Amino acid sequence: MNKAQNPSDRATANTAGRATAHSPRVPKEKRASALRAARDKAQAFSADDQARAASNLHQLLEEVCATGELKKLDVVDKAGLGGGNTTDSTKRLDTYTLPENASSSRRKRLAKKPGKYFEIAEAIATLRNESSAPFICQVFEGCTFGADREFLTRWEEERWARLAQLLRAMSVAVAKKSNIDVYWTEAAQGNGQYDHKTDRLICAEQPLDMVGCSAGLAGYQAHPGELPPIPSVLLGTTPLAEQSPAKLHLSNGEELEIFALISLEVRLALAPVGRTGEPGPLLEFRSRLDARGKKDGELVLKGVYFDETDGVLEINGAGLVGREAEHVRLTDFIIPDARYRDGCSNDYWAWEEVSPGLLQEIFGAWEAPLDMSHVRSGIDANRVPPSRFEADTAAFFLNAYLMSDALETELMGACKSRAAVLDQFRDTLDEKILGAEADANSRWRSLQAE
């Protein structure tokens, strides 16, 4: 990938047009509907989900009551938990909330059914005169409940739940160490556009953050040109379809017959998850393109990102292997459907909460296992930790990557890299702004001297 681009470069009409045409945010309503459906169907509410929801609700109540505008007693009464004038009804929250250092006995008393969590979230929303969907989503953030991903055995549930918990713990530690919350605060300010094909920030007459990342990216999808660079690391890949013949058109006039392959990248990202805007772990999904010459089998494109317009893939020349051209177009190619993009094309990226069920779905697949060669190369064969997962499976390698310091080191590096790209862009942009101001002042002085 290249370093930050000079801000004098302009955003292309192609990506700028996509940003302007972006659809409204609706994922919170969709997720809340799925959660309500799970409640109505009496879907299993596992022990891990119980603890996660209770912890989330504790944090939510602390947040909304911090300013004094709302009191826990108001929430309790609105949710139908009131115990009368002589009773401290806030104690009834004990079975629905879980502070960080709660005792084991309190954990055992947690509600075994999810219904009241909905009522409490809806009570908060009513008292604040806001939509209930974001609050419901925040309460069940990171839960398998409502995701249509259920477990077959207690052993299955326990190991995937534990893996999700460990990923969250590591990500929180990296977020604090890297001050990534500062990055996200600064990234939400100013104008510009991220060119994902070259990994550069460029000048553009649009906010750098067009989607409002502080509202949370969980359950969301967007074109990468609509939001700041996101710290993330590659976990694995899987083909979206078999390789297919295509034509490659280079801006220097050369044309090549190739075999092209689009794969799904599964990554671990560190970005705002939900309504609070607090950075946390997300599984990120991208599509990448690899291509080889049809005659000689030589690598032509390796792991490049692209824009998709009317069945044509637009690629930056920096992705070429062994050739030089400013731009590349790929045609006559059967483009597979994008996974985890909910109807959007392959040039959109998507983010989902790290939940036990989603981890099981992706890293527990036997028929089409995730290619984890990138992860395997970063693990010391002499330091592979004991694991709950079968050897040589995707989950086994993810666990080893996590339990060693390899994953956190890479994620920390990604945080520093994104911050450096933003800092360099802003420094160069500041120089341009100061130059423009100096020219204007010089012009005004000349007017006065006439």
Sheet strands (E) in 273-310: 279-293, 299-304, 307-309
150 has pLDDT over 70: no
| Residues forming beta bridges with residue 104, ordered by sequence position | none
| Whole-angstrom distance, CA of residue 215 vs CA of residue 134 | 9
Predicted pLDDT at 107? 85
Is the CB of residue 332 less than 8 Å from the CB of residue 324?
no
Choose the weakest-confidence range: 81-85, 215-219, 279-283, 394-398: 81-85
Is the CB of residue 319 less than 8 Å from the CB of residue 109?
no
What DSSP designation does 341 have?
A: S
CB within 8 Å of 32: residues ≥ 6 apart: 132, 133, 136, 137
Between the alpha carbon of residue 54 and those of residues 106, 165, 204, 250, the distances in Å are 11, 14, 43, 56
* Token output for 309: 């317009």
Q: Tell me the DSSP string of 425-436.
A: HHHHHHHHHHHH
Cα R_g (the chain), whole angstroms = 25
149 has pLDDT over 60: no
Predicted pLDDT at 52? 87
Average pLDDT value over all residues in the chain: 85
Nearest to 283, CA basis, from 378, 228, 359: 359
Given pLDDT bands bounded at 50, 70 and 90, which one contains residue 347? very high
What DSSP designation does 326 have?
A: S
- Cα angle 206-28-357, degrees, rounded to a multiple of 5: 120
Dihedral sign from CA coordinates of 243, 247, 252, 254: positive
Is the CB of residue 398 less than 8 Å from the CB of residue 363?
yes
| Whole-angstrom distance, CA of residue 345 vs CA of residue 106 | 47
* Token output for 151: 């477990």
Given pLDDT bands bounded at 50, 70 and 90, which one contains residue 89? low
- Highest-confidence range of 5-19, 78-92, 162-176, by mean pLDDT? 162-176
Phi-psi region of 310 (alpha: psi -120 to 50; beta: other; left: phi over 0): left
Q: Phi then psi for 259, rounded to 5 degrees? A: -110, 125
For 158, counting Cβ atoms within 10 Å of its Cβ (0-12 exposed, 13-18 middle, 19+ buried), the class is middle
Predicted pLDDT at 165? 87
Predicted pLDDT at 152? 43
Predicted pLDDT at 428? 85
How much of the chain exceeds pLDDT 70, in percent? 89
Domains of the chain, by residue range, sit at: 27-153, 179-420
Is the CB of residue 273 less than 8 Å from the CB of residue 306?
no
Choose the weakest-confidence range: 1-5, 198-202, 402-406, 417-421: 1-5
* Distance linking the first and last C-alpha atoms of the chain: 51
Predicted pLDDT at 148? 57
Average pLDDT over residues 218-245: 93
246 has pLDDT over 90: yes
Choose the weakest-confidence range: 245-254, 269-278, 283-292, 330-339: 269-278
156 has pLDDT over 70: no
287 has pLDDT over 80: yes
CA dihedral 200, 205, 206, 207 (to 10 degrees): 70
CB within 8 Å of 37: residues ≥ 6 apart: 146
pLDDT tens per residue across span 309-333: 888 999 988 888 988 888 899 999 9
Is the CB of residue 270 less than 8 Å from the CB of residue 281?
yes
Choose the weakest-confidence range: 44-53, 83-92, 233-242: 83-92
Instruction: Identify residue 438 by its one-letter amino acid code.
Output: A
Instruction: Identify residue 228 by its one-letter amino acid code.
Output: P
pLDDT tens per residue across span 13-36: 344 434 333 444 556 777 888 889
Between the alpha carbon of residue 363 and those of residues 140, 275, 435, the distances in Å are 22, 27, 52
* Token output for 269: 């990202």
Q: What is the pTM of this model?
A: 0.76
Predicted pLDDT at 10? 33
Given pLDDT bands bounded at 50, 70 and 90, which one contains residue 136? very high
How many CA within 13 A on the CB side of residue 102?
A: 19
| Whole-angstrom distance, CA of residue 365 vs CA of residue 339 | 15
Is the CB of residue 232 less than 8 Å from the CB of residue 262?
no
Predicted pLDDT at 106? 84
- Cα angle 336-332-328, degrees, rounded to a multiple of 5: 95
